[in-house]
Amino acid sequence: MKSRVIHVTLLLLIATTAVSGEVKVEKDVSYGPHERNVFDIYWKTEYKNAPIVFTIHGGAFRTGSKGYCNADMQKLFLDKGCVVVSPNYRLLQKGASSIADCSIDCAMAVAWMQANATKYGADPKRIVSTGGSAGGYLSYVIAYRKKWGWPADAKYKPDRLNVIGWYGDSAYLSSRVMKYVDAKDPPAFMIYGEREHRATPAKLGHEMQKIFKSNGIWNRMVYVNKASHVPGKKVLISSRSRNKAVFEAFDQFLDMVCYGKGEPKDGDVITIGN
């Protein structure tokens, strides 16, 4: 499948903290053999060695699309000088026989971007993985799984994925993948609501904090009172409703992992809402 390039004027996505310039979008870039092995890329013409942010959609591994990366999400990361990549992946009963297939697709997307980063003014060694719900699981696996059994038809098969930070919004985490973490792994930023989906209770975030702490890994969690599933869309991503404290904490997280600026306090829980 050939990709489509769309030129977006600066007025559509105004960068306030990063280098200004024309925003470009390349749609439906193929990273694998399946029809859903495509992603969209957003970047600026002035970028040189920019960090890369993957935004992975949720949907219980059965629904969803790369459209998850809406205008607010694009702007949030473009404002930080990052190249933004939003992938589709095979879904259960729609090309994927297991969650492992969803995971390997996302890993292949990262591997493709690592190999082709310079085309978009990006740094292949600075990748941040983000996602919500099932996408939180997939972005977590990308960040913390150490070895990949690449399929024969994978175009790129790196020894490791260069993920330097993970953000999960109501991330689903199984007991098996929670054991992936060890010392020197990427820092983590998590958001959970009080009234979560039964598969993503806030206790997962608290349990992960203990695991990160035991391995000496920087981490921070946001707990949103009275909020339901994926509250990060409201308290962080939306420019109209984001919480100032959460936005500032996440901004510090990005500064730390993407640019090595500062080392904000870790291990605590930011509680917001009534």
Q: What is residue 21's predicted lDDT score, i.e. its pLDDT?
A: 77
Per the DSSP assignment, residues forming a β-bridge with 7 are: 24
Residue 201, burial from CB neighbour count under 10 angstroms (0-12, 13-18, 19+): middle
DSSP state letter for 272:
E
The alpha-carbon radius of gyration of the chain (Å, integer) is 17
Beta carbons of 135 and 61 less than 8 angstroms apart: no
- Give me the mean pLDDT over the 1-27 stretch: 56
Q: What is the DSSP letter of 103?
A: H
pLDDT digits (tens, 9 = 90+) for 240-273: 999 999 999 999 999 999 999 998 999 999 999 8
Q: Domain span at residue 197?
A: 4-272
Direct distance between the N- and C-terminal alpha carbons of the chain, in angstroms, rounded to an integer = 48
pLDDT attached to residue 3:
53
Closest of 264, 233, 272, 266 to residue 136, by C-alpha: 233
**In which band, very low, low, confident or very high, does the pLDDT at 17 lie, cut at 50, 70 and 90?**
very low
What domain count does the chain have?
1
Q: The pTM is what?
A: 0.92
pLDDT, tens only, 39-66: 999 999 999 999 999 999 999 999 999 9
* Domain containing residue 12: CATH number: 3.40.50.1820
Closest CA relative to residue 124, chosen from 159, 163, 90: 163
pLDDT at 222: 98
Mean pLDDT, the chain, rounded, equals 93
pLDDT value at position 18?
41
Mean pLDDT across 130-141: 98
d(CA 149, CA 104): 8
Tokens coding 124 = 């292949």
